Structure 1
Amino acid sequence: MSDPSISSEPYALVVDDDGLIRMDAMDILQDAGFRTFEASDGDKAMTLLAREHAVIVLLFTDVQMPGTRNGFAVARETASRWPHIAIVVASGHVRLEPGEMPDGARFIGKPFTADMVHDHLQAILPDGRKPEPLRTREQAGSAT
C-alpha cells in the first residue's frame, strides 16, 4: 500500500458486507475526489480506522453487517474516538430510531445515487476537508 500521508486527496472508508454495493459507493466517492479504503464488516472497519484515522475524513457505512459491530456501533465509536471524521450511514432495511446516530452524522437510504451521496457530503464536510472535485461541483451548482 502506498503512503497515504503523501496524498493531497482525503480518504474515505466504505464499510459494507455486499461487495457490489461497496464497490458502487467507492466509485461514487472516488468520483467526488476521495481515495478509499474498504472493509466488509464493522470489526474490520474499526481495525482499519485505528491504523488510518489520521488520513480518513469520511466514514460511509452500511448498518446490517456480520461481526460484533453493526454500522450504528461503528458510527458511534468513530464519532467518539475520532470526531474529525464525518459519518454517513446507509441502509435499505433499517428504520432510524432516536439515539442510534451520533450527532452530525447523516442517514441515507438505499438504493442511493451519486447525487444523493454528493449532496450529503456537501452538507457534512467542512470546505477544508472536501476534495477538489466536490468543491468544484459545489461552486458550479451555486453559479447556476
Structure 2
Amino acid sequence: MGREFLVVHAGYDALEASNAEEAIRLLEARTDIVLVFTDVGMPGTMDGIKLAHHIRNRWPPVKLIVASGRSIIEQSRLPQGSHFIPKPYNDSTIVEQIHRMLAPIETRPKP
C-alpha cells in the first residue's frame, strides 16, 4: 500500500510531494499540514533527514515520520520528537504511529 493511501486509510487527508523542495512549497502554502512522512532517500537537493530538520526549525509543531530501507537511522540524527520507521514496514505500523502522533495529548497511551 502506498504511503499516501495509508494516510487516507488512517482517516486523514494526504498530500504528496515528489521531492523536498515540493514538500517545502506545500508547507509554505498551507497551514493545515500537521504531519510529514518522508523517506531518507527522497530525491531533491536535500535528503529526508535534512528535510525533517528544516521542517522542525521552520514549522516546529509539525509531526515527523522518517523512513529508510537502506539503513537504520539513529534517533540522535533526527529532529526532536520525530519517529524513525525502518523499511520494509508493516502498513498497520504506519497507521498506528500516525494515530499515536496525532492523538490529543489526553488520549495518548502512557509510556
Q: Which band: TM-score by shorter chain?
A: 0.7 to 0.9
Q: Residues 118 and 82 of structure 1: is their aligned pair in 2 closer, same or farther, counting only changes over 3 Å?
A: same
Query: Given the alignment, which residue of 31, 35, 54 partners 2:13?
Result: 35
Query: Given the alignment, which residue of 101, 108, 112 partners 2:89?
Result: 112
Higher strand share: 1
2:78 maps to 1:101: yes
Identity of aligned residues (%): 35
Residues 26-71 of structure 1 deviation map (CA, whole Å, 9 limit, x = unaligned): 111101111111111111111111111x100110001112221100
2:46 maps to 1:46: no
Unaligned runs of 5+ in 1: 1-22, 129-134, 139-144
Unaligned runs of 5+ in 2: none
TM-score in terms of structure 1 length: 0.67
Residues 88-134 of structure 1 deviation map (CA, whole Å, 9 limit, x = unaligned): 00111133145321001000011222210122223322427xxxxxx
The code of the aligned residue for 1:66 comes to P
State the alpha-carbon separation in 1 of the partners of residues 99 and 63 from structure 2: 11
CA RMSD of aligned residues (A): 2.1
TM-score in terms of structure 2 length: 0.85
**SS of corresponding position for 2:46:** coil
Structure 1: 4+ residue segments shifted above 3 A: none
| Structure index of larger Rg | 1
